[in-house]
């Protein structure tokens, strides 16, 4: 992992001990797919980061300085994952101790995860529910204990992901991906105005294929003709199994993957063409 | 601010860049009042920390090593605030990347804040609501964006604290203190099983004066005969004003402060004896 850390525009050796990110999760992050030395969705990621900063009333680093450092870190022209973390900065003790401070920010480069299972993901239901908090819904903030708890419900290789519901019982997403549900030829995805994250790949699907946002129950998901998970690092991933319910590959999923691959060259369909 | 940071039992120079505290707020903290070189409520703080670690399924550092370092940091016999922060540790990217890691922990010593207003606190209602999440309620975890947003609703010296409600409208606490409400000679405090923090001083009051936990509305608070805020650093603080409603000093508040001062010598009543 290569890392660069800054206080405002000044490089620093490590996160300050009194950083509000460490104290309170008082920050935002973006996890971006690097492809041949570039970040094809950087504009979308920066847009969500800006929305998050406005909602949390915190500052962002200078965009040009961030982009310069990204280019330098990807100068080998390679692939991988680039994570940008921005906190409100180092401040005094207490929730209010953030007057006149500059953001701490960090870029780290990571290798790609192994490719997803070629025949589709095996997904389970999580018991952990997400609390309803409209003030934090949609943005990618650093208060992620709910996701940590949900992901901690299983270990080992039997399951690839888990679906989570909110405390009212509505389906929200997977622990680190959004969910799309196909029914009667239409893709739908849970709303993210009460909890959940407005994923970057989710946004692309909503704009591109005329999918819609909806309130979805467990039954809606179980009755689907096809399910996919979406995420900015791994693209569109078909679900082969949810608990003991299985789905064969669906042509609409393959069509979605083809359209994404045409826009974002990193995302060639991961599944076996022979299965479609 | 003096600071000591450890990875497990090994001193380190700073928080790791890939620490899960920084990434996800994946940790716990305790803010403790130091008095003449000691921490009179350390046993209570360690108990809450242990409960939090069990709930989050994370490890804690060796208690004896923590206590040794606390004694060394307070060896001047002085007063102040000692903060203990424990994160799940440094791990790989992703919510699940925490297998076999050791906790990162940090002790920092801070000066006491200026004393509270002698004639009682001026308190306001916050618009920010707390989401309902029983899995995280009661423990002092590091996902504190809700408190940061609530505390950010005011600046300047007109208000000392703000009261917050949950998304159902029930009163929970102040942004960094618990609330007790006196009515017909009985102290009551909001339950903390759906959101909020089980404060250390709150626990002492519940045990000592036969106060009870309750579901409290804004009206219940407005109709109170007296209000106090409690916190482990500042003890029991009378509320003089909530919005435009004012309360004169109440003998029951003074009695509560006297009992606390008898148990925990740091907390001599801050208010003017002549007012009672």
Q: What is the ipTM of this complex?
A: 0.95
Instruction: Give the lowest-confidence range in A187-191, B55-59, B266-270.
Output: B266-270
Helix residue spans in chain A (DSSP H):
20-24, 42-56, 63-73, 145-151, 200-209, 218-222, 251-263
Closest Cα in chain A, distance from residue B221 (Å): 24
Residues of A in contact with B20 (CB under 8 A): 148
What is the 3-class SS of chain B, one letter each residue?
CEEEEEECCEEECCECCCEHHHHHCCEEEEEEEEECCECCCHHHHHHHHHHHHHHHCCCCCCHHHHHHHHHHHCCCCCCEEEEEEEECCECCCCCCCCCCCCCEEEEEEECCCCCCCCCCEEEEEEEEEECCCCCCCECCECCCHHHHHHHCCCCCCCCCEEEEEECCCCEEEECCCEEEEEECCEEEEECCCCCCECCHHHHHHHHHHCCEEECCCHHHHHCCCEEEEEECCCEEEEEEEECCEECCCCHHHHHHHHHHHHHCCCCCCCCCHHHC
SS3 A67: helix
Summarize pLDDT for A130-176 with one digit per residue, the tens. 999 999 999 999 999 999 999 999 998 899 999 999 999 999 999 99
Mutate to test the interface with B, among A148, A157, A177, A195 (most CBs of B within 10 A): A148
Summarize pLDDT for A243-265 with one digit per residue, the tens. 999 999 999 999 999 999 999 88
Summarize pLDDT for B112-145 with one digit per residue, the tens. 988 888 789 999 999 999 999 999 999 999 999 9
| pLDDT of res. B274 | 38
DSSP 8-state code for residue A100: T
Residue B115 token pair: 């004393």
Residue written as token pair 């101790």 = A97
CATH 3.20.10.10 maps onto chain B at: 121-267
**CA-only gyration radius of chain B, Å:** 19
Distance CA B216, CA B1 (A): 38
pLDDT at residue B194 tops 80:
yes
Task: Check: pTM over 0.90? Answer yes or no.
Answer: yes
Closest Cα in chain A, distance from residue B131 (Å): 5
CATH 3.30.470.10 maps onto chain A at: 2-110
Instruction: Closest CB to B15: pick one of A17, A20, A149.
Output: A17
Distance CA A143, CA B81 (A): 25
- Note whether A195 and A212 are within 8 A (CB): no
Mutate to test the interface with A, among B96, B168, B175 (most CBs of A within 10 A): B96
Tell me the CATH architecture of domain A2-110.
2-Layer Sandwich (3.30)
In this structure, the number of other CB atoms found within 10 A of the CB of residue B274 comes to 6
Distance CA B69, CA B154 (A): 37
Contact A56 B150 (CB under 8 A): no
Mutate to test the interface with A, among B148, B166, B234 (most CBs of A within 10 A): B148
Is the CATH number 3.40.30.10 carried by domain B121-267? no
| pLDDT of res. A269 | 57
B5 to chain A: closest CA residue: A17
Instruction: Closest CB to B94: pick one of A21, A143, A176.
Output: A176
Instruction: Closest CB to B176: pick one of A94, A129, A167.
Output: A94
| pLDDT of res. B99 | 82
Summarize pLDDT for A17-48 with one digit per residue, the tens. 999 999 999 999 999 999 999 999 999 999 99
Distance CA B98, CA B103 (A): 10
Closest Cα in chain B, distance from residue A118 (Å): 21
Closest Cα in chain B, distance from residue A183 (Å): 30
């Amino acid at each position: 992992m290569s890392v660069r850390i800054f206080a405002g525009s000044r490089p620093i050796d490590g996160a300050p001990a009194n950083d509000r990110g460490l104290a309170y999760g008082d920050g935002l992050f973006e996890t971006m797919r690097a492809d041949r030395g570039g970040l094809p969705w950087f504009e979308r990621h920066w847009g969500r980061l800006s929305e998050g900063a406005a909602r949390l009333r915190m500052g962002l680093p200078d965009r040009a300085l961030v982009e310069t450092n990204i280019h330098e870190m990807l100068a080998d022209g390679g692939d991988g994952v680039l994570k940008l973390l921005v906190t409100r900065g180092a401040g005094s003790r207490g929730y209010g101790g953030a007057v006149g401070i500059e953001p701490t920010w960090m870029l780290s480069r990571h290798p790609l995860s192994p490719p997803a299972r070629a025949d589709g993901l095996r997904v389970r239901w999580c018991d952990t529910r997400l609390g309803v908090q409209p003030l934090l819904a949609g943005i990618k903030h650093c208060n992620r204990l709910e996701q940590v708890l949900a992901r901690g419900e299983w270990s080992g290789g039997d399951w690839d992901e888990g679906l989570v519901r909110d405390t009212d019982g509505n389906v929200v997403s997977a622990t680190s991906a959004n969910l799309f549900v196909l029914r009667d030829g239409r893709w739908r995805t849970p709303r993210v105005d009460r909890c959940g994250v407005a994923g970057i790949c989710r946004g692309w699907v909503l704009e591109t294929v005329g999918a819609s946002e909806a309130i979805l129950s467990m039954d809606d998901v179980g009755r689907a003709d096809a399910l996919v998970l979406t995420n900015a690092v791994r693209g569109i991933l078909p679900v082969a199994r949810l608990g003991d319910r299985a789905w064969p590959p669906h042509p609409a999923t393959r069509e979605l993957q083809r359209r994404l691959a045409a826009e974002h060259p990193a995302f060639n369909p991961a599944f076996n063409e022979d299965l479609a």
